[in-house]
Amino acid sequence: MEDSNRHKGMRKRLAEKLYQKGIRDENVLSAIQAIPRHFFLDKAFEEHAYEDKAFPIDEHQTISQPYTVAYQTELLQVKKREKILEIGTGSGYQSAVLALLGARLYTIERHELLYSKAKKMFETLGLLGIRSYFRDGYKGLGEFAPFDKILVTAGATEVPPALKKQLKIGGILVIPVGNQAHQKMLKITRLGKFDYQEETLSNFKFVPLLKGKNPQK
């Protein structure tokens, strides 16, 4: 795969479009400009990689729309060296954005095929610090908790209790919650052991957060 000047030009225009749509975090916009999104798509969609759209990946899942990736990342207010947990690795594109922002990233995927393809892509791109797991992300990653930030990139019907527990005090959890048709983005800040502040933000549409692994093992 190659990353040409033409691709770079299209990425610059994508970043400008995201700015127009309200994304103001310079680090987030630079990460979007740096990462070759066309590497994360099937050949058939490569030409469309820098449109602000979601596309199908394997296992009937999707790579999120760039605006959604930028919006969720901005809400997380990522700082270098922070320990971040992502639920729903999918194509790995969002993971690459977080890694480029300097996060110490842990990412979980419930489909084995997506997990292994994303893992290979991280190696190809030299993102060697990303730790990937084939697990049920509904349960989080207890052995590495607590996390500074947690990001869920699939639509949940409720906030998984394990994820709230695995958040540091002062930490932020960003998760879309709703029904199949649409979800509202929640930004949850842990203020104390039993004290969480919840902000309800815009509407989105994600593929569902499901329980268990596929295949089960």
Q: Residue 119 and residue 45: Cα distance in Å, rounded?
A: 21
For the chain, what's the residue count? 217
The CA-atom distances, in angstroms, between 135 and each of 50, 104, 148, 180 are 30, 18, 20, 22
**Residue 116 designated active-site:** no
Give yes or no for residue 94 binding ligand SAH (CB under 6 A).
yes
Q: Which stretch binds ligand SAH (CB under 6 A): 14-22, 31-39, 108-116, 122-130?
A: 108-116
Give yes or no for residue 207 binding ligand SAH (CB under 6 A).
yes
CB of 61 to ligand SAH, least distance (A): 4
Joined together, the tokens standing for residue 103 give 């996060």
Question: Which residues make beta-bridge pairs with 106?
Answer: 85, 131
Site string for ligand SAH, 60-79 (x = CB under 6 A): -xxxx---------------
When the beta carbons of 103 and 108 are compared against ligand SAH, the nearer one is 108
Neighbours of 195 (CB within 10 A): 9
Residues that bind ligand SAH (CB under 6 A): 61-64, 87-88, 90-91, 93-94, 108-111, 114, 136-138, 153-154, 207, 209-211
